[in-house]
Structure 1
Amino acid sequence: MASSKKNYHVFVSFRGTDVRNNFLSHLYAALDQNGIFTFLDSEELRKGKQISPSLMRAIEESRVAIIIFSEDYASSRWCLDELVKIMECKAQKELIVLPVFNKVEPREVRGGREAYRRAIAKHEIKFGKNSEKVKRWKKALLNAGSLSGWYISDG
């Protein structure tokens, strides 16, 4: 049985190329200034093709997950795998999930519109339209996109 110990206050899931140097840096600074221990994954440090056990553990050991949905979020297999794990922990471990819709609307995330539709279509080509992996990603996007969150259109 996994430990119920919480090592992080907040886990932030994001697509670095979209938000690292603007919204994310401001969010992290605000959390840090308030003494909130935050886990930020660095895409540049990732090795291999699957999320590492340590990253999965960081999600499990967090009290809150902030998902920053941005235009290219769904194009990242890593982000989608994180999202699936976050939504599993929401259901099983009472993880609090707070979505931030950064220049994308919740309906785009939920319904696979525009950039999200294109990203999922590319994943379906690679993994197969009926692959379990893609089905899990779509379900996680639908569920997370249905949560109450914040919409940010500029900065």
Structure 2
Amino acid sequence: MASTSTQIISFSSTSIPRWNHDVFLSFRSEDTRYSFTDRLYTSLVRRGIRNFRDDKLKRGEEIGSELLKAIEESRLSIIIFSPNYAHSRWCLDELLKIMECRKEMGQTVLPVFHHVDPSHVRKQTGSFGEAFDNHKADTEEKKEKVQRWRTALTKAANLAGEDVNDG
């Protein structure tokens, strides 16, 4: 009997995700950091919601792995799609991780379309199409990654979200 309860405890402790953040904010800094994202972050903090944005990184930490870890440790991800979001390879890599966590861990994902048409995100047209024109895929590996970015954008844009066109 002792071994059975040990197995149950062991199983439950490894199968229940540990959330260090309620919300992970994914955004293109130059578009929204000092406007929409800052107001959203402040509003969440006021309500006692633990959220992560990249300014919480400590000096000297590796940005990439720390951000990916924060995504995994978040209960919900809010993706703020803005005109220059897809120009950032890092934003697109964040998006890949967010969509992976949605699929594998059941993470909730909320897209916010900030001054962009959701169909431009979904179909990679407008500023999103321009961004992909700049993401040159000269090797098979890069072509595969670009395709994964496109698929992630389409899937994220197909989720119910919010359309925001104010400051």
- When normalised by structure 2's length, the TM-score is 0.83
1:41 aligns with 2:54: yes
Q: How big is the alpha-carbon RMSD for the aligned residues of Structure 1 and Structure 2?
A: 2.5
CA distance in 2, matches of 1:30, 1:127: 44
Number of residue-to-residue matches in the alignment: 152
Match of 2:74 in 1: 62
**Percent identity at matched positions?**
45
4+ aligned runs moved over 3 Å, structure 1: 44-47, 125-130
Structure 2: how far apart are the matches of 1:94 and 1:138? 21
TM-aligned CA deviation for residue 124 of structure 1: 2.8
From 109, 118, 121, the equivalent of 2:130 is 118
Contact residue 127 and residue 134 of structure 1 kept, 8 A? no
Whole-angstrom distance in 1 between the partners of 2:126 and 2:98: 24
Q: Distance in 1 between matches of 2:19 and 2:95?
A: 19
Does 1:91 pair with 2:91? no
Q: Where in structure 1 are there 5+ consecutive unaligned residues?
A: none
Q: Determine which structure has the larger helix proportion and give its number.
A: 2
Q: Which runs of 5+ in 2 are unaligned?
A: 1-13
Give the 5 Å matches for 1:3-18: 4-18=17-31
Which residue, 93, 115, 119 being the options, matches 1:81?
Answer: 93
CA distance in 2, matches of 1:119, 1:128: 19
Q: Distance in 2 between matches of 1:126 and 1:45?
A: 35
| Structure number with bigger Rg | 2
Q: Given the two structures, how large is their TM-score scaled by the length of structure 1?
A: 0.89
